[in-house]
Chains A and B, each alone.
Chain A
Amino acid sequence: MKYTKEFSEIFNHPSRGEFLCRAIRPSDKEGLVMALKDLSIESRKKRFLTLKKGFTEKELKIFTEVDFVRHVALAILKVVDQSFEPVGTVRFFVDEDNLERAEFAITILDKFQGLGIGNYLFDHLCEAAKERGIKELYGTASTENNKIVKLMKKKGEVKSKVITHGILELSLKLG
């Protein structure tokens, strides 16, 4: 399998230089905390469906101690001289009762949005999902989050259903 704990790939952006896409590691906890501070209020609300102030210990553990079996998570970082600047993450969690279905979430820091990095990450995520026999990726989003719908529509037909006021479940069948 390509998408394991060892996964790592350099991505050369046409205008913004070199990025590193790799599997999330337990040592990324501090990076996640710092990155949340850089995420705008609007982006936090879109990602977490609430204005997130910070991560709990439990959340940091879940988000960074990834098994790459039911839970796959990739990070993308900007290469800056000898170090790396957080850019975003993407992940999916396979459903407990349906191994062919997984919920995904994607976060790109505001200053890196609109550059195609979300598409790049989502492409990888779809490949990782297919590798594991997942046939459908779905996400929970605000009814006003058009960006995620656009992202998903690039990979195929998106179906939506209402979960509750203001919240939709958007699903994509993987070809």
Chain B
Amino acid sequence: MEAVWYKSYPAQAAKEIDPDKYMSINEVIEESCQKFAGQVAYINMGVSMTYSEVKEKSDAFAHYLIDELDLKKGDVIAIQMPNLLQYPVVLYGAFKAGLIVVNTNPLYTEREVKKVMQDSGAKAIVICENFLSKLENILPETKIEHIITTQIGDFFPLVKRTLTNFVVKKVKKMVPAFKGDYIGLNKAISIGSNSYREFPEVHRDDIALFQYTGGTTGKTKAAMLTHRNLIANMEQMAEWIVAGLGDSRPMSLAPLPIYHVFTLSVNIMGFFKMGMPNLLITNPRDLSSLIADIKTYKPELAIVVNTLLQALLNNEEFQKLDLSYMKFSVAGGMALKKSVKEQWEKMTKSRVIEGYGLTEASPVVSCNPTIGEDVAGSIGIPIPSTEVKITNLDGEEVGFGEEGELCVRGPQVMQGYWNQPEETAQVLSEDGWLRTGDYASIDERGFIRILDRKKDMILVSGFNVYPNEVEDVLLEIDDVADVAAIGQDNERSGQVVKVFIVKKSERLTKEKVIAYAKENLAGYKVPKIVEFIDELPKNNVGKVLRRELR
């Protein structure tokens, strides 16, 4: 497909980037820490951390991993915590030690954590104490040998640290009791700071992340993202964002979770590299705290999702703010509603531009321009060094305006799924084209519109939920004879999970179904609607007719 979209590029944005500019992410981190040494890199709960501090702590942590724990290049380490100052330190430290990182959702149930730990073969984990008891319950079934814990306030100055950790544990009671005795992150960093052994040589083709994403067959799959993949996407987004910023490097609001590859790539990699401070929000559902932070720090940029924008716009406190200092926002993860875009732009007197991506592409594929035409309802144009095409059901490329599956090729596309060659072969061609599983069309100017999903997937506030996974769990309930899960449109979150259940016995109640789901599935996967039916609609040969349920 001819790259007609270049005509809509901001003047300052290059058409191509060099994904081989750096040997590894570590080189990027090192360069940024030297360049911006005394500047603030991250802020969280009123506490700042400079680039120098990031370097010092992440170097020390890397030394601890190599020297004390004897972890080798290519070993896997999991990180399970909300947005805290500790997160980038641990992440960068792991990269410097040559490890592969598994970003683990703190909302995961024991069962989900176990699946990820088993599949990835993680040998170590850095975990926020709030989630430790769940890990302990499944620990014997994993290969984890080393547990490093951290508390919410660990990177705060002494008084604030003590108070915060006390409140979290003793007042809010957010730390379920755990049995073991583990080394704390601060202690690990302290031990590591005494070592000066060289870090292993890390190459851009080494895997940096096992980034987990579900699948239609319910299999847990990790996209293998290399250093090169992440550097590429970081460079691509940097071109895009800089075009809209000029020389300024303002603070960005980072309310979306770092364990999701969107914020990891854009905020923790891209904005860090550009010398832009990131305001990390630990709990974006606590709107009062979020609004207080916005008032205090006045971030000029925000990386957001439709659900969050809606929640803020509906909040009385937020409605009183003057946000005219904002430069622009970038929305991803799920479709940005036209009405939400209009309201946000009216309130902030700045644009919110929609982008699109998927875990398998590190993640950003396309974005509306930061300057120039911004097309509502479109996911924008391909970012630098990105090729796209639309293919029909026979895999043949079709032209502008025609509908089919969106395919992507570029340096940000993953190497494949970890340990799943068949699944990889289904989405990745030998010449590097990634099938996204989304139906789309591209207009004559190169603007892409997503029409529908080819994959059987439900999108809840930007999180992927696969019906199979929900169904498999609910079928474990003895009194469930049959179940089908679909996505139902929802004003707030885009979609919610709805299940149709055929009961074996009258004992089964909606409450029991939801309780079982909550025990075994992360919150966003739990059905919001449960409907009992006599029989699932089926065709003559016994196949469930999902279209009749939708």
Contact = CB atoms under 8 A, between A and B. Distances in A.
Contacts of A71: 540
Contact of A45 (B217, B452, B547): B217
Nearest to B485: A50
B475 A53 contact: yes
B457 A165 contact: yes
Nearest to B435: A143
Contact of B481 (A42, A54, A146, A168): A54
A160 B543 CA distance: 17
Contacts of B437: 143
A165 B453 contact: yes
A166 B482 contact: no
B536 A50 contact: yes
Contact of B454 (A93, A105, A166): A166
Nearest to B550: A164
A161 B393 contact: yes
B520 to A, nearest CB: 15
B483 interface: yes
Given A50-B482, A161-B393, A162-B454, A140 B542 contact: no
B472 interface: yes
Contacts of A105: 541-543
A42 B484 CA distance: 16
Given A144-B426, A164-B547, A166-B216, A48 B454 contact: no
B217 A59 contact: no
Given A103-B540, A140-B539, A166 B455 contact: yes
Contacts of A53: 475, 480-482
15 contacts: A41-B472, A45-B217, A45-B468, A48-B542, A50-B471, A50-B484, A50-B544, A52-B482, A53-B482, A62-B542, A71-B540, A91-B541, A92-B541, A162-B454, A165-B452
A160 B452 CA distance: 17
B468 A51 contact: yes
Interface of B: 216-218, 393-394, 426, 437, 439, 452-457, 468, 471-472, 475, 480-484, 535-536, 539-544, 546-547, 550
A47 B217 CA distance: 12
A144 B219 CA distance: 12
A105 B541 CA distance: 6
A133 to B, nearest CB: 18
Given A48-B543, A50-B544, 6 more contacts: A49-B546, A54-B481, A104-B541, A164-B550, A165-B455, A168-B393
Contacts of A45: 217-218, 468
B536 A142 contact: no
A51 B437 CA distance: 22
Contact of B547 (A51, A91, A93, A163): A163
Interface in A126-175: 140, 142-144, 146, 160-168
Contacts of A164: 456, 546-547, 550
A165 B539 contact: no
A93 B543 CA distance: 12
A1 B536 CA distance: 36
A165 B393 contact: no
B407 to A, nearest CB: 14
B217 A166 contact: no
Contacts of B480: 53
A63 interface: yes
B472 A51 contact: yes
A42 B454 contact: no
Contacts of B546: 49, 164-167
A132 B423 CA distance: 39
B380 to A, nearest CB: 23
Q: Give the 7 A-B residue pairs with the shortest CB-CB distance, closest first.
A: A166-B456, A93-B540, A105-B541, A164-B547, A160-B393, A50-B544, A165-B456
A167 B547 CA distance: 9
Contacts of A104: 541
A93 B455 contact: no
A165 to B, nearest CB: 5
A48 B482 CA distance: 11
Nearest to B547: A164
Given A144-B217, A161-B393, A165-B454, A49 B543 contact: yes
A42 B456 contact: no
Interface in A89-111: 91-93, 103-105
A146 to B, nearest CB: 7
Given A53-B475, A166-B457, A103 B482 contact: no
Nearest to B455: A166
Contacts of A52: 482
Contact of A146 (B426, B453, B455): B426
B483 A50 contact: yes
A105 to B, nearest CB: 4
B456 A167 contact: yes
A174 B336 CA distance: 46
Given A51-B475, A53-B481, A162-B393, A143 B216 contact: yes
A52 B484 CA distance: 11
Contacts of A146: 426
A42 B472 CA distance: 11
A6 B430 CA distance: 49
Contacts of A50: 471, 482-484, 536, 544
Contacts of A168: 393
A61 B439 CA distance: 40
A142 B456 contact: yes
B457 A59 contact: no
B24 to A, nearest CB: 34
Interface in A22-54: 41-42, 45, 47-54
A142 B216 contact: yes
Contacts of B536: 50
Contacts of B455: 143, 165-166
A159 to B, nearest CB: 8
A87 B349 CA distance: 67
Nearest to A70: B540
A1 B48 CA distance: 83
Contacts of B482: 50, 52-53
Nearest to B548: A164
A146 B484 CA distance: 23
Nearest to A143: B454
A166 B542 CA distance: 17
B457 to A, nearest CB: 7
Nearest to B423: A144
A75 to B, nearest CB: 15
A144 B550 CA distance: 20
